[in-house]
Copies of this chain bind each other. A is one copy, B any other.
Amino acid sequence: METTVGIETGQSRPAPTLEMVAALAGVSRATVSRVVNGSTSVAPELAQSVEQAVRALNYVPNRAARTLASRRTYTITLLVPESTSKVFADPFFATVVEGVAKYLNSTEYMLNMVTSSEADPGKTQRYLMGGNVDGVLVVSHHSGDHSWEHLNDALPIVFAGRPLLNASDSYYVEVDNEEGALAAVQHLITTGRRNIATIAGPQDMPPGVDRLAGWRSGLAAAGLDDALVEYGDFTVASGEAAMRRLLARGKPLDGLFAANDQMAAGAHAVIQEHGLRIPEDIAVVGFDDDLFATSVSPALTTVHHPISDLGEKMAHMLVELIEGRPAHRVCRLPTSLVVRESA
């Protein structure tokens, strides 16, 4: 764009076509197509002149034509359950999108989001099955949405987190919840805690059960008791309630692992409200490393959940699938413990 475009016609000239490039380079359209698509079987000299012509004309392939001819759309859709407004309000979604976009930027694929709760329920169905998309990313964590179910084998799908149904034959990427929880417990043990409780998540959600399992295995490895379990639903309020129940048991308690930061925040408040100090009296470790971790005082020691990486990995897997390359069915992302003041 080193030349000014001026005011000329007011109508820009039509975009250069493959044919124009072919003419300029003195080859056939097929050859241009080959070099543009990186086919190896083309003479270096011809390739050169084609590339020159491409630059000279500032040629860029017409997406629609390419799609129509190749039956590939080069677009993948991110299927989310909530309404568009809620998606952007939810930092988890936003961060997943960020990761997806980051990876896709290095490819030819475009991303488009469709929220399945939109007006016409069948519309999403038809759109996805209508050959408008090469693959789909599903981020329907905790939601009754199953618009992807009928996709069956029509399209490659990658899930964010282990899906509740058909986990055994689905492609998905998840954080290593169990390992993360284990690390949290080990930290607690290492720092001298012996009576370690947990506020677990819902047991009908993979993260809920896996994090509880991690807590259990950590305790078992150290020969400690695993009786101090209360359940919450990942909300602050449920964390408060669970903490009250834990305290009400009247058993010794000097360490707490909450299955997510929101519940940890709730527990935080209750602990302090009871005149107990954190971490002196009760050390607490959360999970996720989200906004709640740093908004409480003392700041939460917690297990970092690499959400952006998760998005990146999902996109990567999906593209591999689309392009017919083999891909591992499940990708488990490592976590890391972030030590702050609470433990």
Contact of A126 among B10, B60, B102, B154 (CB under 8 A): B60
CB of A77, distance to nearest CB on chain B (Å):
10
- Known A-B contacts A5-B152, A154-B12; the reply to A130 vs B60 at CB < 8 A is yes
- Known A-B contacts A5-B150, A112-B111, A152-B12; the reply to A132 vs B63 at CB < 8 A is yes
> For A12, what are the chain B residues with a Cβ–Cβ distance below 8 Å?
129, 152-154
Q: How far is the CA of A94 from the CA of B106 in the complex (A)?
A: 23
- Known A-B contacts A68-B65, A150-B1; the reply to A102 vs B85 at CB < 8 A is yes
Q: How far is the CA of A66 from the CA of B274 in the complex (A)?
A: 66
The stretch among A117-125, A136-144, A200-208 that forms the contact with chain B is: A117-125
Complex interface residues of chain A between 52 and 104 (CB less than 8 A to chain B): 58, 60-65, 67-68, 73, 84-85, 88-89, 94-95, 97-98, 101-102
Q: How far is the CA of A84 from the CA of B101 in the complex (A)?
A: 7
Q: How far is the CA of A63 from the CA of B65 in the complex (A)?
A: 11
CB of A81, distance to nearest CB on chain B (Å):
15
Contact assessment for A10 and B112 in the assembled complex, using a CB-CB cutoff below 8 Å? no
- Known A-B contacts A94-B88, A102-B85, A152-B12; the reply to A64 vs B60 at CB < 8 A is no
A110 beta carbon closer than 8 Å to chain B: yes
A40 beta carbon closer than 8 Å to chain B: no
A11 beta carbon closer than 8 Å to chain B: yes
A299-342 vs B, Cβ < 8 Å mask (1 yes, 0 no): 00000000010000000000000000000000000000000000
> For A62, what are the chain B residues with a Cβ–Cβ distance below 8 Å?
68, 130-132
A105 beta carbon closer than 8 Å to chain B: yes
> For A58, what are the chain B residues with a Cβ–Cβ distance below 8 Å?
126
Measured CB to CB, the nearest residue on chain B to A11 is B153
Measured CB to CB, the nearest residue on chain B to A123 is B60
Measured CB to CB, the nearest residue on chain B to A122 is B1
Contact of A68 among B1, B5, B64, B84 (CB under 8 A): B64
A220 beta carbon closer than 8 Å to chain B: no
A15 beta carbon closer than 8 Å to chain B: yes
- Known A-B contacts A112-B110, A112-B112, A122-B1; the reply to A129 vs B85 at CB < 8 A is no
Residues of A at the B interface (CB closer than 8 Å) are 1, 5, 10-12, 14-15, 58, 60-65, 67-68, 73, 84-85, 88-89, 94-95, 97-98, 101-102, 105-106, 110-113, 118-119, 122, 125-127, 129-132, 150, 152-154, 308
| Besides A62-B68, A64-B68, A84-B97, 13 new A-B residue pairs in contact (Cβ under 8 A), listed by A number | A5-B150, A11-B153, A12-B152, A15-B129, A61-B130, A62-B131, A63-B73, A64-B64, A64-B65, A64-B73, A85-B102, A88-B97, A105-B118
Closest 3 CB pairs of A and B: A64-B67, A12-B154, A60-B130
Name 6 A/B residue pairs within 8 A (Cβ), A-sorted: A12-B129, A62-B130, A65-B68, A88-B94, A89-B94, A101-B113
